[in-house]
Amino acid sequence: MKEIIIIQRIFPDYQKPILDAIYLKSKFILLHSNNKSGIKQVCTPYSKQINKWKYWKGDTHLFLNVFSYIRKSKPKIIIHELAVGILSLPLVMLTRKILGYKFVLWGHAYNRKIGFNPRKNLSDKYRLWMQRKADAIITYSNSEKEELINYGIDRNKIFPALNTLATDKYLPVRNRLDKIGKENIKQKLGFANQFNLVFIGRLIEDKWPQYAIEVLNTLLNKKSLSIALHFVGSGAMEKSLLEYSNKNGLQNNVFFHGEVYDENKSGELLFASDMMIMPGYVGLSVNHAFCFDCPVITFETINHVPAHSPEIEYIIHGETGFIVKHKSIVDMAETLNNYLNDEQMKREVKIHIRNMIENVCPMEKLVDEVIHAIDYVQKK
């Protein structure tokens, strides 16, 4: 018997240290499929890859073939990724009455691209129905918990496991780099400019990487800064970004590093940079940057665009980063120029970033909240 089963679409590499830590405290089996999203995926001794049926184009438009395993395993608890496109999800939830297991939802409480309006939106109504039926809910943020409480869900069954990375893996790397020194790391990487911006993520439209390169162009032409932009990642927009760079004579200021999975290399790129620039929606890249003392700048959201993930809550304007006027290249460039030339602000921002990543959203807190959710349903 496997007392706890976790079910999700894929098993991303960045999630492995977190699930490893949860497994040490509460054994489980992870059932997952895979996809070709570009996200690095893994398997472990506690994971089992399952078959799926993809009924539409979206990454969540799946039916996961989990029922034979559930029937054989007779679990006491199932923790399921909350994604309304997964057709098998409501069946797993309803089957608990027959097989007698507790049911926990884990994921985004709502679609941040459209907001949360169960009174008018059918998918939100469905999502809220599932959350009301669940024995417990693990959310990605405190604000999601408050949103659900506003719709009458019992606060005691909601556990905000603030989304994060394996901080216990990254922070020792940061401490090692800190001893070497930023200037020495810059020299090792061949960073010839005084200031450096970094963009880490897929080069796709939703991330708005074209704004990053336009901001750089503004800083070069109007502020006369010695500055470079480093793209770490790949994607459909890489070709157009390279063409823009060549057309505007930015070959010595824009660098494409491709995909970097080695935490030491990515850590060096972040540690040597002065700011992570993410004009489009932000996610766990915020946590990644903070692990290496790198603040983050992005655009504010208007009408859910860009559709920032819960990690936007970690960017406190003027403390851990900056949230500037929507799609304003001028405002972003001006904010960057002011920050880069203010040594006192840099020191203060570094203090705030370390407090955020070490005390507010370390991996240990996420793990503890998941364990609290398991303990809660076990006692019901």
Assess whether 132 and 102 both reside in one domain: yes
- pLDDT over 70, % of the chain: 100
3-state secondary structure string, the chain? CCCEEEEECCCEHHHHHHHHHHHHHCCCEEEECCCCCCCCECCCCCEEECCEEECCCCCCCEEECCHHHHHHHCCCEEEEECCCCCCHHHHHHHHHHHHCCEEEEECCCCCCCCCCCCCCCHHHHHHHHHHHHCCEEEECCHHHHHHHHHCCCCHHHEEECCCCCCHHHHHHHHHHHHHHCHHHHHHHHCCCCCEEEEEECCCCHHHCHHHHHHHHHHHHHHCCCCEEEEEECCCCCHHHHHHHHHHCCCCCCEEEEECCCCHHHHHHHHHCCCEEECCCCCCCHHHHHHCCCCCEEEECCECCECCCCHHHHHCCECCCEEEECCCCHHHHHHHHHHHHCCHHHHHHHHHHHHHHHHHHCCHHHHHHHHHHHHHHHHHC
Assess whether 370 and 345 both reside in one domain: no
- pLDDT tens-digit readout, 241-284: 999 999 999 999 999 999 998 989 999 999 999 999 999 999 99
Assess whether 154 and 216 both reside in one domain: no
| pLDDT at 1 exceeding the cut of 70 | no
Assess whether 90 and 201 both reside in one domain: no
| pLDDT at 214 exceeding the cut of 90 | yes
Computed over every residue of the chain, the mean pLDDT equals 95
Q: How large is the average pLDDT for residues 302-330?
A: 96
CATH code where residue 106 lies: 3.40.50.2000
- pLDDT tens-digit readout, 54-103: 999 888 999 999 999 999 999 999 999 999 999 999 999 999 999 999 99
Assess whether 229 and 143 both reside in one domain: no
117: pLDDT confidence band, cut at 50, 70 and 90? Answer: very high
pTM listed for this prediction: 0.91
The total domain count for the chain is 2
Domain of 54? Answer: 4-164+362-379
- pLDDT tens-digit readout, 322-358: 999 999 999 999 999 999 999 999 999 999 999 999 9
